[in-house]
Amino acid sequence: MATVTYDKATRIYPGSDKPAVDQLDISIEDGEFLVLVGPSGCGKSTSLRMLAGLEDVDGGAIRIGDRDVTHLPPKDRDIAMVFQNYALYPHMTVADNMGFALKIAGVNKAEIRQKVEDAARILDLTEYLGRKPKALSGGQRQRVAMGRAIVREPQVFLMDEPLSNLDAKLRVQTRTQIAGLQRRLGITTVYVTHDQVEAMTMGDRVAVLKDGLLQQVDSPRNMYDRPANLFVAGFIGSPAMNLVEVPITDGGVKFGNSVVPVSREALTSAADKGDRTVTVGVRPEHFDLVDGAGSAGSLSKDAPAGVAVTVNVVEELGADGYVYGTAEVGGEQKDIVVRVDGRNVPAKGSVLHVVPRPGELHVFSTSSGERLSD
């Protein structure tokens, strides 16, 4: 077992002037499950391959435990990688696939058999050990690929989108199995996905990358509650956080016909940048519905508080419903998503009046995108 450290690790592909991974700094704890997530092309696989030794490191360093592995060949790093396409040998049985790396390493037959059988038991593969990969389901193949990594008892597991070939239901099941297995084995794991739900449900911590740059590394809870910038705010959470540019007023921000209080520090730092607006973020579950007739809390005595959202589509999920609507905020038509009670959803075409719940508002600088609120 071991820690993993990316120390300002940079990769610039030949012929490119822009780093694919730009001074990546992450310290991963012993036994931790760290998920790298971000949109296509943000540098997730490159980061993982740098740790595996499959990609050169052009700047900075990578350490596993106290060992500087920056320029070590893959075989000397004591890691095992699980790829998206599993890369099983089609002509070998499951048992031979799982034991292959040990055989190459010269481990004796009895010991290989023992390790393969142990791993097969953990992975529920015992009855398939004599089969060829083509006679297995996608999920079983995926588990063989895991088994091949487990038998090597590496210091670090690396996984690059290992579930993306599975259908939606199996992906959810296997996600839980992998996370559970990792916790039992306690092996430090770096896991790559572009799926933020996978990241949030599996990781002890999640690292969000964009354009080769680390945006935030945090626990799923903190990532959701305190996104560090507009990018993370919009990327983490489904449906996504509502992000709207609004004018700054005395003591807060003007959200339709309401003033929503915002900390003085947030407003001061916006003003220091010369901004006259901030971008506020409200999660769909953090809007309160207000009475359309009353004007309590409204800036205008003829109009209800908050903003009026015209309901375009209602998504009913049983317990919850999501209203997809449009509203005029800050002089612009904006798409707004509001979570409502699943048993009491509004009709299409109707109008809801909503205000952000106090204390649940995220405030970002419109110019730099950085988080201004606590």
* Contact residues: ligand ATP, CB under 6 A: 13, 16, 20, 38, 40-46, 194
Q: How many residues does the chain have?
A: 374
- Alpha-helical (H) ranges within the chain are 44-52, 94-104, 109-123, 138-150, 168-185, 196-202, 220-225, 230-235, 264-272
Binding Mg ion (rule: CB under 5 A), the pick from 5, 45, 155, 365 is 45
Q: Is 184 helix (H, G, I), strand (E, B) or coil?
A: helix
CB 141 within 8 A of CB 122: no
DSSP of 115-171, one letter per residue? HHHHHHHHHT-GGGTTS-GGGS-HHHHHHHHHHHHHTT--SEEEEESTTTTS-HHHH
Comparing CB distances to ligand ATP, the nearer of 14 and 349 is 14
For residue 142, state whether it binds Mg ion (rule: CB under 5 A): no
- Distance in Å, CB of 298 to Mg ion, minimum: 49
| Spatial CA neighbour of 31 closest among 146, 115, 156 | 156
> Considering the complex, what minimum distance in angstroms separates the CB of residue 44 from Mg ion?
5
**Min dist. Cβ of residue 41 to Mg ion (A):** 8
If the CB atoms of residues 234 and 330 are measured against ligand ATP, the closer one turns out to be 234
Name which of ligand ATP, Mg ion, none residue 133 binds, using a CB cut-off of 5 to 8 Å depending on partner kind.
Answer: none
* Residue 279 contacts which entry, ligand ATP, Mg ion, none (Cβ below 5-8 A, type-dependent): none
Which C-beta is closer to Mg ion: that of 85 or that of 268?
85
What is the greatest pairwise CA distance in the chain?
A: 84
| Contacted entry of ligand ATP, Mg ion, none for residue 344, CB cut-off 5 to 8 Å set by kind | none
Site string for Mg ion, 85-124 (x = CB under 5 A): ----------------------------------------
Q: Which of the 8 DSSP states describes residue 359?
A: T
Question: Which positions touch Mg ion (CB under 5 A)?
Answer: 45
